[in-house]
A and B are shown apart, each in its own frame.
Chain A
Amino acid sequence: MGALIQLRNLAKVYQSGDSEFAALHDVNLDIERGDFVAITGSSGSGKSTLMNLLGCLDSPSRGSYLLAEKDVAKLSRIELAKVRNEFIGFVFQNFNLLSRTSALENVELPLIYARVPPSERHKRAKESLERVGLGHRAGHTPSQLSGGQQQRVAIARALVTRPPLILADEPTGNLDSATSVEIMKLLTELQKSGMTILFVTHEPDIAAYAARKLLLKDGAVITDVRQQPTVAEVGVQPNYGSASS
């Protein structure tokens, strides 16, 4: 079995009038199953473009993208939606939860589009919420939850379809440092349980949680290093239940 993600000469060019702008050129990258990767770089370096392509939210201009041996570079919008549903869990900087909708229902959302019947849906969403330590907040709406709790609901939503890949775009960008640590510990746990996690960050101490660090500049990967990740202290469980931050 090859790497979970295989990018070959992947490029994204934006056209505006006569001029072209290459947001990403000829990226070659393999990401193995179970890896924990941080993508860093200044703004305009192509991080977001790469994340959008990896997340199947956008199609590349050139090159190939194999996700779990499946070529997803030239899929239709409908097929891309299926791939997102089945293979990818998203975590966003601003959480992107549906407002005035309970945590449980937010977590259920991907299962609705996976055509999972209601009873199983509730069960799985509940399990997923328990896994991020929010089983007791299932009925709360996002506005009744703290930032850290909202991000954990978002992570539960990303987990619920049991995708092989989790993509997190600045997952701690809107959180204070104590809460950021909690979220990174949670992601570390998930990675330990066998998931592949990619996250974008511009904070070095957050990037330090990853086992592999990529640095992007001007639309190309300029450094790709393995590192000893910051390990969450063994035996100290973060206090998920309290309203932090």
Chain B
Amino acid sequence: MISIGETLRLAGRALRRNKLRSFLTTLGIIIGVGAVIFIQSIGEGAKSRVRAQIESAGTNIVMLFSGASQGPGGRGGAGSQPTITWEDLRAIQTELPSVRAVAPQINSQQPVISETNTWNTQITGTTPDYFTIRNWPVSDGALFTASDQASAAKNAVIGQTAAENLFGPGVDPIGQIVRIRDAPFTIVGVLDRKGQNAMGMDQDDCIFIPLSAFQTRMQRGLGKFVPGRISISAVSPEAIPRVRQEVSQLLRERHRLGQDEEDDFSTSSMAEMTSMLTSTQDTMTLLLSAIALVSLVVGGIGVMNIMLVSVTERTREIGIRMAVGAQPTDIMMQFLVEALVLSAVGGALGVIFGVGLGQLIAPKFGWTMETRTQVVFISLAVSAGVGIVFGLYPARKASRLDPIDALRYE
């Protein structure tokens, strides 16, 4: 076999001789690889956006709900019957080492009235720890404090969207008074902008008040029971399963549940949600990639077709080469490398095309592109593989020509 450099040179020259044809043949591969890269990049981008949105809700969070009712009144969903007491909450906070912070929260959609506007927004009663758990600082002013919670002070922290709608642009919300259910609340802080959550809801359209104030003003609690849901943050993402297990064990003990009794509470973690949402994304990406891969195979058939034409067209050339001493393997390699170069160049152009297309289209739809090098290398390898697989038959056909017949071919 002659050297690979020599064979490459021969292939490059043969392909350049028919530039338009080579390009059109390559187009199949370009589109195939381009589509794979584009879809993978968009899919990966969407996945990390979902992940980022979920993480914006707070990292390492375990949600704890009061249990379902099991009474004669029928079954209810999680949270329909309060079972978790303030004592339980304190125990979780103090007794479990994997828990960093605990905060209950209860919310209600209510009209809020400022001096100039009325705005319907989400009002959440919670404790100051909530902002630690959600990793949500103020951009202006201060959070309400533990003593505000203790005294049911009528202080409120407001999200950016709610602030804009209540006070209009250019007005400093700090110190403004708003009325919620006829009670005046003083705005003490404005929260950082959070953006949309995983469900597409605007997280900045909200007002937070101390849980105690919420209970006195809006919804009388049952005293010893914690209303609403409880957010628990674990010390690390790895500690999430441990937190769930420890919380469950602790509450079962405290509620004196027997071996055969069901939990009267339930927990869920953001990790579950993340994996659920990203696995949907993965399925979509996989499906679309499979379709893109089919177009790559179609491209490969195009390469095979044109190589067969090329072998027939160049029968006499093959005869001449054989007469002057080309061995069957030399001829085979010449055509195989030609097919390989066609599809590998197509693959490289396809990567550029796919990434370029993404850069062009993604911003228009607000998508994020995230091209993984791994995918690029796999696409290149697959397109080279397509070249070899679909180039093999024509190359073998060329190498098996009889030199006498080939020389006589008109």
Contact = CB atoms under 8 A, between A and B. Distances in A.
A binds B: yes
Interface of A: 52, 55, 57-58, 77-78, 81-82, 84-86, 90, 92, 96-98, 100, 109-110, 112-115, 157, 161
A33 to B, nearest CB: 21
Interface string B244-273: 000000000000000000000000000000
Interface in B300-332: 316-317, 319-330
Contact of B404 (A52, A100, A114): A52
Interface string B205-247: 0000000000000000000000000000000000000000000
Contact of A115 (B3, B316, B321): B3
Contacts of B115: none
Nearest to B319: A96
B311 to A, nearest CB: 15
Contact of A85 (B3, B17, B324, B329): B324
B82 to A, nearest CB: 87
Given A96-B316, A98-B320, A100-B17, A82 B3 contact: no
B321 to A, nearest CB: 7
11 contacts: A57-B403, A57-B407, A58-B404, A84-B322, A96-B319, A96-B407, A98-B317, A113-B321, A113-B324, A113-B325, A161-B325
Contacts of A97: 320
A128 to B, nearest CB: 13
Contact of A113 (B2, B316, B319, B403): B2
B325 A110 contact: yes
B6 interface: yes
- The secondary-structure label for the interface of chain B is helix
A98 B320 CA distance: 8
A90 to B, nearest CB: 5
Contacts of A55: 323
A90 B317 CA distance: 14
Given A52-B404, A57-B404, A113-B2, A90 B327 contact: no
Contacts of B326: 81, 113
Given A82-B327, A109-B320, A161-B325, 20 more contacts: A55-B323, A57-B404, A57-B407, A77-B328, A78-B328, A81-B326, A84-B322, A84-B323, A84-B325, A90-B324, A96-B319, A96-B407, A97-B320, A98-B317, A109-B321, A110-B324, A112-B6, A113-B326, A113-B327, A115-B3
Given A52-B404, A112-B6, A115-B2, A78 B329 contact: yes
